Structure 1
Amino acid sequence: MRVLLTGHKGYIGTILVPLLLEKGYEVVGLDSDLYRQSTFGEGIVEIPELIKDVRDVEISDLEGFDAVLHLAGLSNDPLGNLNPNLTYDINHLASVHLAKLSKQAGIPRYIFSSSCSNYGAGGSDWLTEESAFNPVTPYGRSKVLVEQDVSQLADDNFSPTFLRNATAYGVSPRLRFDLVLNNLVAWAYTTGKVFIKSDGTPWRPIVHIEDISRAFIAVLEAPREKIHNEAFNVGRNEDNYQIRDIANIVKETVPNCEIEYAADGGPDTRCYRVDCSKILRVLPEFQPQWNTRKGAVELYNTYKKIGLTLEEFEGPKYQRIAHIKKLLAEERLNENLRWKTNVAASAL
């Protein structure tokens, strides 16, 4: 099977690529590669690729594929808030356009990387795929809009599936430090403080990026009738935590550290506790391999191995929003987050 993976050089994509190759898939990537200067640790597995903005995809780019796995987009709330209009252009409109072109090209499967951010201010009650959307950020709203628009394209020849990933964690060649477990372990290792920026009460489901990748593969391999126009929460029920509980796990993992709350930390409106039993019931071949404690150990050992510093993880190399602002200040990107034509890719 030949698959197109957008965002193949991102945080999750660089983990999904080798897992797809191990399964024998022929994989082609599509990515504007905004974070080409942000590779962490070991290198990225190279595959045939189109270095192209997802907003610029043409039907000719989609010929000959059996499935599209769509990861590309602006990846977090602060980045989404940088320019909400761009978030809608990239995360919403471009995703719907890609789905429409995929359908026109005769591609039968379109697997969208959605998010539990769709539930937003969901409170502490368990939320299923049937629960109401309540997004509170441009990022979350963009994901909701894609699901609503793309689901209307479903027919006998086109099967979209929506994977609502819990908050991701884990080591990747394109590591992100803006994710709660990655961030708290980094603070603990580099400063001895598990630094919490809220009051610690919000609920958040978390899931390892390898398990997100396994969910994509499970959907790709599932019979059509199981995944046609379906949404799945991706994670494990056991890995729903209040932020303060994640902090305690980090404290128990990283030696000689203490929990510290930001002086101005208050309740976070993003609060959701998500039931992930549907994917395990419908797709029993999806077997998550990670839990939060195991993930904290992986992160701690990796940070220790490379000697991570506070300046590195808080600086513009790995912080998505800071990196984009740096590229804008250096005039490598224009205001629409496109590479400037006078900036040669080889020089980046």
Structure 2
Amino acid sequence: MILVVGGAGYIGSHLVKELVKEKEVVVLDNLSTGHRWAIDEKAVFVKGNLGSEEDLVQVFDTYSIEAVMHFAAFSLVGESVQDPQKYYDNNVAATLTLLRVMRKYGVDKFIFSSTAATYGIPAVEMITEETATNPINPYGRSKLVIEHILADFALSYSLKYVTLRYFNAAGAYETAEIGEDHDPETHLIPIVLEHLLGQREQISVFGTDYETPDGTCIRDYIHVTDLAKAHIAAMRGLLDGKLETAVYNLGNGKGYSVKEVIETCERVTGRTAKVELGDRRPGDPARLVASSEKIGRELGWKAEIGLEEIINSAWKWHQKK
């Protein structure tokens, strides 16, 4: 059985949808940001906290866990700056509790949902796993701390793990049963689509003078189902003994500017956006694009879904939700 911590959230719930096709799954989530309705009915659901040893022991006592996937981090950059203790308590201290309970029960396979925020503002066109990590906010630092902890645990306790650093997750499940539903919403594609549905007055674009072809920031967008499949490929690698420790970037390897994303949303929906142009936000790099060649080489994974299909799936979800 696979334990998915945070399996009621956006990315975790999409992973569970794919994972139940081949494995028994138990989801642990406190529903603070996730949704009970998002969890596939084939999965077992346990309401509990990542940082509660009592809740974790209950799961490990009840089910035979062979690997753990961790999606239960807080992930808002701005909030992490305003309240870093919240982020270190949950993202670091609570994860240590999980790792401690795993050791107690002899579970040694771990798949960690990390982030491109560990890189900070890299001065490279294409980010590889060898690019220096230099996070610029508590969110990114909290994830990088766990990456270091995993490396130490692998050395001292023979933990086998895969860290997946992904970029801009987007889109919705193909049936539009589940999709992106954050409160507050901070991601570009759902913000644009909410505006085009009449739920927001306008869209703000922060910075039009970057050194990019159209002056707006360029980001790497990856469909959430592609992300889910990468996690499953990593799980298979650990369970089959093909992997012991690994760090992989997950992205499309192709960047899209803010302007391109808005224009694609307009094309998919047949609606026109009202756009307000503003100044740059501090700390926004001009370009963040990932190379996923390493995971392609080692696990045969690559992103299959492009921007238009990402937005089309998200549009179906937003119209329905």
Q: Tell me the TM-score normalised to structure 2 length.
A: 0.83
Equivalent residue letter for 1:50: V
How do 1:230-241 residues align onto structure 2 when only pairs under 5 Å count?
230-238=246-254, 240-241=255-256
Maintained 8 Å contact 1:66/1:109: yes
Partner of 1:26: 24
Contact 2:251 2:289 in 1 (8 A): no
Residue aligning to 1:323: none
- Residue number in structure 1 paired with 2:187: 179
Which amino acid letter does the alignment assign opposite residue 26 of structure 2? V
Contact 1:168 1:206 (C-alpha < 8 Å) held by counterparts: yes
Change (3 A) 1:49 1:300: closer
1:76 is aligned with what amino acid? L
Give distance in 2, aligned partners of 1:225 and 1:247: 43
**Mapped partners of 1:123, 1:260: distance in 2:** 29
Using the alignment, how far apart are the partners of 1:78 and 1:153 within structure 2? 30
Other-structure match for 1:165: 166
Preserved contact between residue 126 and residue 275 of structure 1 (Cα < 8 Å): yes
The whole-number CA distance in structure 2 between the counterparts of 1:289 and 1:67 is 26
**Of 32, 38, 45, which residue of structure 1 is paired with 2:40?**
45
Identity of aligned residues (%): 24
Are 1:301 and 2:296 matched, yes or no? no
Q: In 2, are the aligned partners of 1:124 and 1:273 still within 8 Å (CA)?
A: no
CA contact (8 A) 2:92 2:146 kept: yes
Aligned structure 1 segments of 4 or more residues deviating by more than 6 angstroms: 191-194
- Residue of structure 2 equivalent to 1:333: none
Match of 1:78 in 2: 78
1:12 to partner: Cα distance? 1.3
Name the aligned partner's letter for residue 5 of structure 1.
V
Candidates 288, 291, 294, aligned match of 1:278: 294
- Aligned residues of 1:120 and 1:272 also touching (Cα < 8 A): no
Shift of 1:179: 1.8
- The answer to which of 255-264 and 26-35 deviates more is 255-264
Aligned partners of 1:245 and 1:194: how far apart in 2? 17
Helix, strand or coil: the match of 1:74? coil
Other-structure match for 1:130: 130
The residue identity in structure 2 corresponding to 1:282 is E
Residue 126 of structure 1 deviates from its aligned partner by 1.1
Q: Give the structure-1-normalised TM-score.
A: 0.77
Provide Cα deviations, 1:179-218, integer angstroms capped at 9, x if missing partner: 2222222223326977234115333222111111111100
Aligned-partner residue type, residue 75 of structure 1: S
**Aligned partners of 2:109 and 2:161 also within 8 Å:** yes
What is aligned with 2:12? 13
Counterpart check, 1:251 vs 2:266: yes
Mapped to 1, the partners of 2:268 and 2:200 lie a distance apart of: 12
Aligned length: 299
Assess if the C-alpha contact under 8 Å between 2:179 and 2:317 holds in 1.
no
Gaps of at least 5 residues in structure 2 are 173-177, 209-215
Query: What is the rounded CA distance, in whole Å, between the counterparts of 1:96 and 1:49 in structure 2?
Result: 22
TM superposition shift of 1:28: 0.9
Task: Give the counterpart letter for 2:259 in structure 1.
Answer: R
* Corresponding position of 2:211: none
Structure 1 regions of 5+ residues with no counterpart? 307-348
CA displacement, residues 20-79 of structure 1 (integer Å, 9 cap, x when unaligned): 1111x111111111146x67xx75424323311111135634353100001102122133
Q: Secondary structure at the match of 1:55?
A: coil
Map 1:47-62 to 2 at 5 A. 47-58=43-54, 60=57, 61-62=59-60
